[in-house]
């Protein structure tokens, strides 16, 4: 069990970040993150721990939720501990809000692969496996999505 605890601690923030970027909903991302680890532990506890499999479970749970409910809930500011410089906090929150808003202007696939890349730390090869694309195709899609996101942010 301590091996799983280490796996959980190593990947919980990355998975949560991916789910938050993808959904734009703090509470939903937290719920799906916990459900992802629960399902992973139930089904794959005896196998070697695989972050790509964990992200696949989380991605599929989020897609299932979206298909069922189609929520349109914007990211809400959450308090995450105390920080000294309020102006810096505001600036960081504003930039994060702008990026999350800009991500919503991308199509689902672009948002998905950029969120996987930014949150998971997985190599392109594993992102390709998760999404069912070739590695070369993922590289092209990520490049194009980054350019599109950059242009969206410039417009704002």
pLDDT of residue 39: 93
The tens digit of pLDDT for each residue in 71-85 reads: 455 555 444 444 456
What CATH fold (topology level) applies to the domain 2-73+86-155?
Answer: Butyryl-CoA Dehydrogenase, subunit A; domain 3 (1.20.140)
Q: Which residues contact 4 (CB under 8 A, 6 or more apart)?
A: 41, 45, 49
pLDDT of residue 81: 47
pLDDT of residue 53: 92
| Predicted TM-score of the model (pTM) | 0.56
> How many whole angstroms separate alpha carbon 3 and alpha carbon 50?
12
For the chain, give every domain's residue range: 2-73+86-155
Q: Which residues contact 125 (CB under 8 A, 6 or more apart)?
A: 135
The tens digit of pLDDT for each residue in 15-48 reads: 999 998 888 889 999 999 999 999 999 998 778 8
pLDDT of residue 70: 66
Spacing of C-alpha 6 from chain mean position: 20
């Amino acid at each position: 069990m301590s091996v799983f605890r280490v796996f959980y601690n190593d990947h919980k923030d990355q998975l949560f970040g991916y789910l938050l970027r993808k959904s734009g909903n703090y509470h939903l991302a937290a719920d799906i993150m916990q459900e992802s680890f629960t399902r992973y532990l139930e089904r794959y506890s005896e196998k070697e721990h695989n972050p790509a499999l964990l992200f696949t479970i989380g991605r599929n749970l989020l897609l299932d939720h979206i298909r069922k409910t189609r929520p349109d809930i914007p990211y809400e500011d959450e308090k995450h501990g105390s920080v000294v410089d309020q102006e810096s906090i505001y600036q960081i929150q504003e930039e994060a809000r702008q990026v999350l808003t800009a991500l919503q202007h991308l199509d689902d696939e672009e948002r998905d692969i950029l969120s996987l890349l930014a949150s998971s730390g997985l190599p392109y090869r594993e992102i390709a496996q998760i999404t069912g694309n070739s590695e070369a195709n993922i590289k092209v899609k990520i490049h194009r999505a980054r350019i599109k996101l950059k242009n969206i942010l410039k417009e704002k």
